[in-house]
Amino acid sequence: MASSLSFLFSLCLISSLVLASSSSSSSTTDRKTFIVQVQRQAKPSIFPTHKNWYESSLATLSSSDSQKTSTFDNAVIHTYENVFHGFSAKLSPSEASKLESLPHVLAVIPEQVRYVQTTRSPEFLGLKTTGSAGLLKESDFGSDLVIGVIDTGIWPERKSFNDRDLGPVPSKWKGQCIAGKDFPATSCNRKLIGARYFCDGYESTNGKMNETTELRSPRDSDGHGTHTASIAAGRYVFPASTLGYARGIAAGMAPKARLATYKVCWNAGCYDSDILAAFDAAVADGVDVISLSVGGVVVPYYLDSIAMGAFGAADAGVFVSASAGNGGPGGLTVTNVAPWVTTVGAGTMDRDFPADVKLGNGRTIPGVSVYGGPGLTPGQMYPLLYAGNVGGDGYSSSLCLEGSLDPKLVNGKIVLCDRGINSRAAKGEVVQKSGGVGMILANVVSDGEGLVADCHVLPATSVGASAGDEIRTYITSSSKSHSPPTATIIFKGTKLGVRPAPVVASFSARGPNPESPEILKPDVIAPGVNILAAWPDRVGPSGISSDKRRTEFNILSGTSMACPHVSGLAALLKAAHPDWSPAAIRSALMTTAYTVDNRGETMLDESTGNSSSVLEFGSGHVHPEKAMDPGLVYDITSYDYIDFLCNSNYTTKNIQVITRKAADCSGAKKAGHAGNLNYPSLAAVFQQYGKHKMSTHFIRTVTNVGEPNSVYRVTVRPPSGTLVTVQPDKLVFRRVGQKLNFLVRVEATALKLSAGSSNVKSGSIVWSDGNHKVTSPLVVTMQQPF
């Protein structure tokens, strides 16, 4: 009881700080949201919940009822009890600083704002519904597993979320269906078994939401959350298509898995205090998998609410998958990089939606589109102009920004617009408003050659950067020759059997890992380009407010779409192997992933057309059927992650903030370095510092999940310029569940590099018993310091 009273006293000090500040001359506009972590201690029994505890401690020190109200409004936003212990509050910088000095306060973390990272995929992944074996059958399609989707909410009436032929809600489920605007509690069923929304953090920063444009409920007014939820666990729906494209059967990865939605993303973004509250609720509710297609900037893990929430979830046995981000094709762009999160990049499928540009000079330029309205007149060529030539401000008009185009010059023409600033679909709306009959949307150099098909509001297509250059050159030369440039767009519908596939999407974020270079990220890639999935009824397929078209399904691209593929697959694997940890599931997906396309060659990078590398695809593209029977897995416990943080030079206080566990780093330091985390991939980083020869070692432990009496032999493909040895080179397993260790030694010779530059080479280590191939990428980076 003494410790409880001591803690209550410290909370009273917190209250005093908040109240003192609210009565001081400092402006309330200086206040920002902070997430406060406090040491976990037993709360006094007179308070039924932690929220009552915090609020009561605040209230007891206020001198008037009006001040009490002010305190509640300006201070406590959320309280956290499961993946994190503490609360979020609106504080001034000085209050935050004073709070951090209190003995029971572990950390005061500034809030970040995150953003979403915007149905042939089951077939492309090899998930077949026929036959008596396979991952779908073995897992009963994931029927007793619950996937929590942290996103923009859900449109529950879609056929993808029907509960036909599903059994009762799993008895372990503790979640709720929270009613709200246009979302009665009856919106849930045996498929959508939970729905919550979190907006206090959003409103704390932005003021009360505009309920004419947003819904204070789990209902999705954006579309992103409905789309991602149906990718993870949508039921079989036939027929399915978007505006006539991609006709066929729509299905999620785990069609019988249950869904719980946690709405945290609003018009201005997704706020950390709300995201952490969603993690907290999801774990308490009893989800098995958390799918998070949201990201932001990379910061140290002790300042990263997603990393902390995900650690708490993983510690509770919940698999967490997150999108890698859409910052590609540049390097060091990958987000959600904590090693306890499965980080998913995006690849293409063998399906495309060609919409070619035919120029007046006879040239045909390949493009893509899912425009489904009235087309251009067949055989007619239309006047063509470059938007950068038709506005007062060439830069704004080149991007087709709102109000930048001159209708007198645009009317009746096809307009070439550059990508950037506003959304791709919004550019088409600008052209349409100005009287244009069509649009060609050209990538700029930073986009490379990667193409994304959009549901445009007028006849439009997207072309690569080099094609954009060619069209601009044609426009300029034709104008000079007094032969007006012309063009038309030819829409070719849906094309299947595209080769090569998969290809790493141009937008898919790439490594190296900016926070932990010893951990290769992304982990895997999955389908994320032109994905058909469910869509809300009140949002047009282009996502812009003026689009009054309605469709049950929509086609979107992004690592946001790749992530729920892996979330659904994780649910299937967990259903087939209930004893597997989140790390074991990730290991199975990584060590069975493939790196060759349907031509039998290394997957290409869409942005360049050249071969891609481990920095783009991690371990490779997921292969669900092989992941069901990986042979060996690399397992990781929470305490292994603590050793990793110790060896990453995090302080014991930092580690306690991330893990809620006291850390003794003395043993970890003796064990080696951060690269010795038992991860399925291996990454060595050598700082040359004038050395000629450098070496390091990795210790790994594999667990036999295949057959008893198995013998695995190693095959090493060393990165060029390195010597790699593995000891022992043979692993003899007597039983299932047995663990054996091996050591990998890597020796490298210095390269001639300019100051500040680096060189990355990759190879692999493969263990095989004749039936299984357990593959780990091995990456060696040579860095020349400044």
Dist CA 213 CA 216 (whole Å): 10
Residue carrying the six token digits 């690592």: 559
Q: How far apart are CA 57 and CA 440, in angstroms?
A: 61
Read off the tokens for 667. 């043993």
Helices and strands in the chain, H and E counts: 21, 37
Contacts of 114 (CB under 8 A, 6+ apart): 265, 269, 270, 271, 272, 275, 294, 295, 296, 306
Residues noted as catalytic: 151, 224, 560
Helix (H, G, I), strand (E, B) or coil at 57: helix
Following DSSP, what letter does each residue of 667-730 receive, concatenated?
HHHHH--GGGS--SSEEEEEE-TT-SEEEEEEEEEEEE-S-SSEEEEEEEEPPTTEEEEEESSE
438-442 and 414-418: which strand pairing? parallel
Alpha helices in 88-129 (DSSP H): 93-100, 121-124
Asked, as a colleague might, if the bond just before 239 is cis with ω within 30 of 0, I would say yes
For residue 275, give the nearest of 304, 316, 246 by alpha carbon.
Answer: 304
The two three-digit tokens of residue 321, written as one number: 């998958």
Whether the CB-CB separation of 557 and 507 falls below 8 Å is answered with: yes
Rounded CA separation 313/290 (Å) = 8
Question: According to DSSP H, which parts of 45-92 are helical?
Answer: 50-60, 65-74
Nearest to 198 by CA among 267, 116, 276: 276
Please, which residues have CB within 8 angstroms of residue 130's CB and are 6 or more apart in sequence? none
DSSP assignment string, 522-562: S-EEEE-SSEEEE--SSS-TT--TT-----SEEEE-SHHHH
Helix runs in 290-374, H state only: 305-315
How far is 435 from 784, CA to CA, in rounded Å? 55
Q: How far apart are CA 86 and CA 215, in angstroms?
A: 28
Task: Determine the 3-state secondary structure of 339 from DSSP.
Answer: coil
CB 647 within 8 A of CB 676: yes
Task: Name every residue whose Cβ is closer than 8 Å to that of residue 771 and which is 6 or more positions away in sequence.
Answer: 631, 706, 707
Q: Which helix (H) or strand (E) holds 204?
A: helix 200-206
CB 136 within 8 A of CB 145: no
Q: What is the dihedral of CA 501, 504, 507, 510, to 10 degrees?
A: 170
Q: How far apart, in whole angstroms, are the C-alpha atoms of residue 709 and residue 609?
A: 45
Name the residue with tokens 């917190």.
14
